[in-house]
């Protein structure tokens, strides 16, 4: 077997260009998915049974069926409703719908991990619901959800390769196109693998950083905060 990695090097710019699509798809759909998932999680933990039930059904469907199916579905079903979607918007919609379902559950786990007594103590000093969420629940929930959230982010990055089936020119589709014309599958797939590994390593790095900045007790108060509170600066 002779391997020629200069081929991989030659096509690296093309793959890097495709990686931009991968990053764009993943980050955009995760952004939408996180925003949506946050509100879904609030609804899911609310006292309105109908709302909570409705969201449960949403999660049940979108977490229980493959994202590959969502991609095809959105891409092929949209024209039936008089909409013609390009591959990229279709991919973003399908990936966001899936991300919403997963992040809803992750954020819900964080919200529910904050003891109800904490919330009551906040309400007892006169905080309104949005303030309780912002000042008491979220800061604590955030820390709890970082590991599962980032794991999901990494899965989602890899799953973006599924968008290749609806012709989004992301890393996987581009790799396939290159090796079907060069017959250098191993070299090109190795390069594609390295790109994914690089992207997911960045996410791992972000996770480590997030975990560090949210470990408040070990870090203590910043000197700026100390000054603000009129405490001795150490």
Distance CA 152, CA 203 (A): 10
Shortest Cβ distance from residue 181 to other proteins (Å)? 55
Q: Does 182 bind other proteins (CB under 8 A)?
A: no
What contacts 18, CB < 8 A, 6 or more positions away? 169, 170, 171, 173, 174, 175
Q: Which stretch binds other proteins (CB under 8 A): 22-30, 47-55, 115-123, 192-200?
A: 115-123
Q: Does 128 bind other proteins (CB under 8 A)?
A: yes
Of 118 and 201, nearer to other proteins (C-beta) is 118
Of 180 and 223, nearer to other proteins (C-beta) is 223
Shortest Cβ distance from residue 138 to other proteins (Å)? 10
Shortest Cβ distance from residue 219 to other proteins (Å)? 10
Q: Which alpha helices (DSSP H) does the chain contain, by range?
A: 5-44, 49-64, 67-77, 87-113, 116-124, 129-131, 138-159, 171-182, 185-213, 216-219, 223-229
Choosing from 61, 113, 121, 206, the residue that interacts with other proteins (CB under 8 A) is 121
Q: Does 217 bind other proteins (CB under 8 A)?
A: yes
207: tokens are 């996770």
Shortest Cβ distance from residue 5 to other proteins (Å)? 49
Of 76 and 216, nearer to other proteins (C-beta) is 216
CA distances to 26, 107, 197, 201 from 158, in Å: 9, 21, 9, 12
Spatial contact of 109 and 148, defined as CB atoms under 8 Å apart: yes
**Closest CA relative to residue 150, chosen from 191, 81, 199:** 199
- Give the chain's radius of gyration (CA, Å): 22
Q: Does 223 bind other proteins (CB under 8 A)?
A: no
Q: Does 209 bind other proteins (CB under 8 A)?
A: no
Binding site for other proteins (CB under 8 A): 115, 117-118, 120-129, 131, 135-136, 139-140, 143, 216-217, 220-221, 226, 228-231
């Amino acid at each position: 077997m002779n391997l020629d990695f200069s081929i991989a090097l030659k096509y690296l710019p093309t793959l890097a260009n495709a990686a931009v699509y991968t990053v764009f798809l993943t980050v955009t759909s995760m952004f939408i998915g996180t925003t949506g998932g946050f509100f879904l999680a609030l609804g899911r933990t609310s006292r309105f049974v109908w709302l909570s039930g409705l969201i449960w059904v949403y999660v049940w469907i979108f977490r229980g069926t493959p994202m590959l199916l969502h991609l095809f579905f959105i891409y092929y079903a949209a024209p039936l409703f008089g909409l013609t979607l390009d591959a990229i918007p279709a991919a973003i919609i399908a990936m966001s719908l899936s991300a919403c379902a997963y992040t809803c559950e992750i954020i819900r786990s964080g919200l529910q991990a904050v003891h109800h007594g904490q919330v009551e103590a906040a309400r007892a000093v006169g905080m309104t619901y949005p303030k309780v969420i912002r000042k008491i629940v979220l800061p604590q929930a955030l820390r709890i959800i970082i590991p599962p959230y980032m794991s999901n982010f990494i899965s989602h990055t890899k799953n973006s390769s599924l968008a290749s089936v609806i012709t989004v020119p992301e890393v996987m589709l581009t790799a396939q196109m290159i090796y079907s014309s060069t017959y250098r599958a191993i070299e090109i797939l190795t390069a594609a693998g390295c790109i994914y590994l690089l992207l997911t390593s960045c996410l791992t790095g972000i996770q480590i950083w997030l975990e560090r900045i949210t470990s408040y007790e070990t870090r203590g108060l910043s000197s700026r905060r100390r000054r603000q509170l009129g405490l001795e600066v150490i």
